[in-house]
């Protein structure tokens, strides 16, 4: 067991936490400046880069302890996260069109599907906070990317996943009494 690092039990654990807090406090202004400088070129928000670098720092502290030169380490981590963001954003593309539905549906199936879509959209509108706008954007036929949705809603791209999970949980709870349980087959 590595002793004297954040996350590891040690008799002087408060000293380790204070050391980590001091490191974070010392690096925060530099990280803000570096992330702001790299954000535009990487096509991401500065806040998303900052979150990624803080996570990387915590992982580094857990595995290897504090970096020997924290300022150089931080600059390198910001550039690395910006490169990663550029690579992943260049791969994200919306679909050119909807996937083809080759099933022949009769009018009854079409009416039932339309009723399900209306019920879903009605339930989404009853959700609290910004959930309706988020889920409407996710359900949009435009097939928006997370970056486009984040820009439309005015929140960071890194917050979309947790926010989406909370909204879907609310939607499940809202729809649970309305959805009939399937009868067992046998």
Is a pLDDT exceeding 60 seen at residue 178? yes
What residue ranges do the domains of the chain occupy? Answer: 13-91, 107-175
Tokens of 153: 């809603």
pLDDT (tens digit per residue) in 148-169: 899 888 888 888 888 999 999 8
Alpha carbon distance 112, 97 (integer Å): 23
Residue 140 to residues 103, 107, 125, 137, Cα–Cα distance (Å)? 22, 24, 14, 5
CATH class, range 107-175: mainly alpha
Tokens of 163: 């926010």
Is a pLDDT exceeding 70 seen at residue 8? no
Residue 181 CA, distance from chain mean position: 32
| This prediction's pTM | 0.45
Alpha carbon distance 37, 50 (integer Å): 11
Is a pLDDT exceeding 90 seen at residue 73? yes
Among 18-22, 135-139, 149-153, 178-182, the range scoring the smallest mean pLDDT is: 178-182
Q: pLDDT confidence of 97, banded at 50, 70, 90?
A: low
């Amino acid at each position: 067991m590595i002793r004297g690092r954040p996350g590891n039990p040690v008799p002087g654990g408060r000293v380790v936490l204070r050391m980590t807090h001091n490191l974070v406090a010392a690096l925060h202004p530099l990280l803000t400046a570096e992330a702001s400088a790299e954000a535009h070129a990487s096509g991401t928000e500065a806040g998303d880069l900052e979150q990624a670098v803080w996570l990387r720092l915590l992982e580094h502290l857990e595995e290897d302890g504090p970096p020997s030169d924290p300022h150089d380490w931080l600059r390198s981590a910001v550039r690395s996260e910006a490169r990663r963001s550029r690579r992943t954003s260049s791969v994200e593309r919306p679909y050119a069109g909807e996937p083809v539905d080759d099933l022949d549906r009769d009018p009854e199936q079409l009416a039932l599907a339309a009723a399900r879509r209306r019920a879903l959209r009605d339930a989404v509108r009853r959700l609290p906070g910004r959930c309706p706008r988020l889920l409407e954007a996710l359900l949009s036929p435009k097939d928006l990317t997370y970056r486009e949705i984040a820009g439309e809603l005015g929140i960071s791209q890194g917050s979309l996943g947790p926010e989406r999970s909370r909204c879907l949980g609310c939607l499940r709870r809202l729809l649970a009494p309305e959805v009939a349980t399937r009868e067992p087959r046998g």
